[in-house]
Amino acid sequence: MMEDGYKIDGRYEIRKPIGEGGMANVYLARDLILDRDVAIKILRLDLQNDPDTIRRFQREELASTELVHPNIVEVYDVGEDSGMQYIVMEYIKGTDLKRYIARNFPIAYPQVIKMMLAILAAVGEAHAHGIIHRDLKPQNILVDETGQVKITDFGIAVALSENSITQTNSMLGSVHYLSPEQARGSIATKRSDIYSLGIILYEMLTSKVPFEGETAVSIALKHFQNQIPSVREFDHNIPQSLENVVLKATAKVPVERYADVSEMAADLKTSLNADRATEAKFKPEIDQEETKVITPISQLDDRLPKDDDAKTYTPKHQTEEKKPVDNSATKAALQQQKQKRRTPLLLVLLAVVILVLLGGGVYAYQEMMSTQVPNVVGLTQTQARKKLAAKNLQLGKTTRQTDQKITNGKVIRSTPKGQVKRNSRVNLVISQGKAKVRVVDYTGQSYSAAAKELRKKGFRVKQTVTASTATAKGVVMTQNVTAGNHVVPEKTTVRLTVSAGQGAFGLSNLINWSQASAQEYASSMGLDLTLKTAFSDSVRSGAVMVQKPVAGKYAQPGDQLIVTISRGQKPANDISFTEKVTVPYDKSTGSSNQVVIYIGDDAHDIGTVYQQSVMTKTTTFKLPFTLKPEASGQYRIVRDGTTINENNNVTK
């Protein structure tokens, strides 16, 4: 066991053990670089010098990196530290399905189906990549705190399949879910995984496995001799349509099972539908001879006379002679008879062991002749070469091209894919990073058009405004990125210097100026002044509290300047409301009308301009009033020097 605090490769700090397996131990660790919890699987120390075990462990590593799916535990990193082989994986905070069933049983049927569909989706992803799990069981299915399921240990079953199931009782956990063909020693197929999924579904519905036994061999024999017990006998509320999913998935003959996990998922999805309530029980069409039950030795022994009964036991051929039976002769005969009856069953068990070993040999031979091309997308060329070499593959041709997602120097894709002969060459396409764009010359163009084009290409754009005696207002004068350069838009900010126009000037800071001073400044600079009022707890009544544009911004004669004058603190008992007044536009006076508005209330003097502005169409103005209870206000609207609207009795 690893000590808490030990750092693997100086990066992964061991926190505590969280699991043990036949080949490796699993620890909770902290990734000190990315500051996150991870699960790290380390090959057991007593197996570190076994080249076959290392090869099998590396096979799991390679098989795991092939798969990216929300219901498959993600592999982050693989490596070796001081001779220790390790795999760094996503840490799932929760429990495995075995414990989940024990803690939460009975599980509602819709929840069982939901979880099984997620498991089927993950297995379907593996099968699509040509990967067969071979060791599906609840212990290899994790359930996080939100109830999401994730499958782990893809590839570890490949190593386990190379060992006879008679080797050790450590296989007991796996053999409960083992398909009949695997028990015979045949090569596992996708339908072998489907059988295991059927057993898992059985356990989720009943909280137990269908077959128990003291040894792995005894359980394996039951998988191809005995029929799966009925889940409806355990729980009569389970619909026949749902039990049929279990029965079809666990058919003894692989061809009787679902063709693939998508077919099983489609059947499972509708298993609770009302239109399937009267569905008949699933029965396999093929009745194989090997499914007949072989009587266990223990039951054969029960049928034979015991030693205590031997005194009165008389062989059939001696009945007529009525002669006494010699006790020692009877015992010898019984022992011989027992031995004869044991011999056929022992031969069957021996045949099973031989078939398993032969199956492992066939599988090992096939593994020797071909190999699976690993997923090297996102790795550097050096990392990819190392990963290919671990699978007895060679690096072929490498080409480079741009890619918007893959970082410069990392693999975009590889060819060929799937199963290939060992020592084959694998070609790589390496990323040159994101595509670069040639920057054009934007000087002399309007800022709005230039900024729009740059943003469309993916650039960030910033503007700097400055006065100019030669360049018109809003036209680009300079740019920070030289025209003709090739750059990555997403990584580049283009700053454009824009002319404020001929005669432009920076606005003064009018805050705390009196209203009269602000009006005089606007008049002297040729600005169109709009006055507004508002209450303020910090700016004295009659002084400027807000200006727009703010001080320092460039303006030209004719530009609009909006100034808000403080009305002081709002009186406690005053009533505030807004009066809407519509001022019609007079076309006869030219292109615009000059409007001046006067307000009289607790905060305004009717003799002082409240607001003046230029309008080019009929406009509705909102006039704010603050009055004491029972009091009234007044307003006057002057358009181009003529009073056109006046009200001396404004009330709420």
Q: How many CB atoms lie within 10 A of CB 77?
A: 17
Two tokens at 233?
Answer: 């006998």
User: How big is the CA angle at 248 (ends 180 and 354), to the nearest 5 degrees?
Assistant: 5
What token pair was written down for 439? 């920057």
Q: In this structure, what are the phi and psi dihedrals at residue 25, rounded to the nearest 5 degrees?
A: -110, 150
Q: Are 178 and 223 in contact (CB under 8 A)?
A: yes
Instruction: State how far the Cα of 273 lies from the Cα of 622, in Å rounded to an integer.
Output: 63
User: For residues 115 and 123, what is the distance between their CA atoms, to the nearest angstrom?
Assistant: 13
Asked whether 378 and 414 are in contact (CB, 8 A), the reply is no
Helix axes 261-269, 109-128, angle to 10 degrees: 160
Coil/strand/helix, residue 478: strand
- The per-residue b/e assignment along 213-233, b for 16 or more CB within 10 angstroms, e otherwise, is eeebbebbbbbbbeebebbbe
Cβ–Cβ under 8 Å, residues 67 and 151: no
CB atoms within 10 A of CB 378: 15
Exposed e or buried b for every residue in 22-41, given b needs 16+ CB within 10 A? Answer: bbbbbbbbbbeeeeeebbbb
Indicate the length of the chain as a whole number.
652
Catalytic residues: 135
On whether the CB atoms of residues 66 and 129 are closer than 8 A, the answer is yes
3-state secondary structure of 226: coil
Other C-beta atoms within 10 Å of 296: how many?
A: 14
Contact indicator for 476, 442 with CB cutoff of 8 Å: yes
Contacts of 391 (CB under 8 A, 6+ apart): 62, 371, 372, 373, 374
Rg (CA), the chain: 43
333 vs 253: CA distance, rounded Å:
41
Using the structure block, give the residue that is written with the tokens 């939100």.
Answer: 146
